[in-house]
Structure 1
Amino acid sequence: MASRIGCTLFVLVLIHCVQVFVEGYPFWERSVGRRPNNISQKKGDVKLFSVQGCDGPRSLDYAEAMAECKLRYGATIASYMHLYQAWRKGYQKCAPSWLNMGTVGYPMQRRSRRCGNRYGIVSLGFRDVREKYDVFCYPDDESVYFVEACNGAMTFDEAEAECQRQGNSIATYDQLEEEWEDGYQYCKPGWLADERVGYPAHDQSDECGDEPGVVDLGVHDRSERYGVFCYRSDDD
């Protein structure tokens, strides 16, 4: 069994290194980084973004990192190619962060002693999935996605600000309905524009209700707490 696992890891490393060589990526085996304070600012049309866990910097193992991207930001964990493309557009983040396939890295536009004195994509390679880092996320194709804060719920003003902080807007009922027509389902009430609360359902269940469609729970007091449906426009 140990031999099979070792062989599998060797093949994954070999594939990754061949990809790096063929694509001409800047690549280094090991370095260290400085932890960020919050979500990084994006440059130009860079879609990739860096996220910390609710417990602060370097608090996410690999499984938690994937969940953080999906459940709080409607995104997937970024690939090495996503990070490379962001680096090509001027993106820099001195913070070792999870990428897909269990690798860790970060992009540098200029050398810095506190960031390992490296330039390009600094890779720490494959890591133990139990180790703790931040994570690079990349938006999914859905225009509407559900977001929860670290405490699980937000007032309307907090929800609106959270969507704006991600460079997006709080979704309208019509935008959520359009996404529902494309198959989107998330059976958890969330804020919509105009202080409405609702969620999109396709399956009949105790969680989703008896009728498919966008469940409109009406206008609620702004001080009540829910998650939020954010809207990501096509030109983001």
Structure 2
Amino acid sequence: MMNCAVILLLTSSCFTSSALYNPNRAVTSKLKYLLEPPVYAEVVARRGQNATLPCILRTKPRHYKVKWTKLEPENMGRENIIMISNAQAFKPYGHLGARASLRRSHSMDASLQIRRLLLDDGGKYRCELVNGIEDESVVITLRIEGVVFPYQSEDGRYRLTFHEAKEVCAEQDGILASYHQLYRAWTEGLDWCNAGWLQDGTVHYPIIQPRPACGGQLLPGIRSYGAKDKNQDRFDAFCFTSQTSGSVSFVSGSFSFEQAGHACQRQGAELALVGHLYSAWRFQNYDQCDGGWLRDGSVRFPISNPRELCGGIPEAGVRSFGFPNKMKPLFGAYCYM
């Protein structure tokens, strides 16, 4: 009886092997060298911090190189190489390469480390293994944690070309926001009825509470004007900033714009930028129910704990008085040091 069982087991095994055999299997199967998918496809960090983008080899071919690039959707066809390496050495390229290195925690580790992150370091990165036979790659997203703030020219609504919008964001310690950054800000409560430029040259605005002047009866969402002429069309700007290395403080008083600057100088500081105030509000929960001058001539105040006498709006945010007469001594000063 036992012999019959053994014979049946062997017979079953033979039929099983025969059914699974595929003479082309060695040709069609792909040897995977990289960890796919990566354990973490998104890495989150703030400006000024360091970040590690994972890329682990499963096994190393005899001859190979690993190439790290940043994918730039707005520059199709242009390859932004950061680093090329092999088992012995690596060569950095460009401004990112100057702040990058390989982690090499073990012999199979090709993870990229970027030091002192900048606002525009966010985006998608590709780790590509090139061995001359079959190339493979993984894509990692680096997300800079920050805050989006709408910005309007002192001259009024819809006065900025695309290039001017880039400039004003840079002047206020920011960059033009990406669509993904604006979308995330919308999910976190940003509701703004003025259209603004984004970094890809498109124009949008986020709406949470639909109203007649902001898309009528359309559902909440990101309203889009699509791509516009960067040299001729004029809108506001959506800027993006992250944490700063300094701190914001408020000097109480009734100052003109010039007096506010002197008040900050007496503190060993200078008038804060709009981006500084938004960063303090977002990352330090800064709450001050007093209007104060900023360096661009606007008057604003940050509210983390909404209350009736501080703007009367139930959501947290940075409130604005716009651009008052700079000669009138009416407000305090927000200083940055």
Q: From the two aligned structures, give the one with the greater helix fraction.
A: 1
Q: From the two aligned structures, give the one with the greater strand fraction.
A: 2
TM-score with structure 2 length normalisation?
A: 0.32
TM-score with structure 1 length normalisation?
A: 0.45
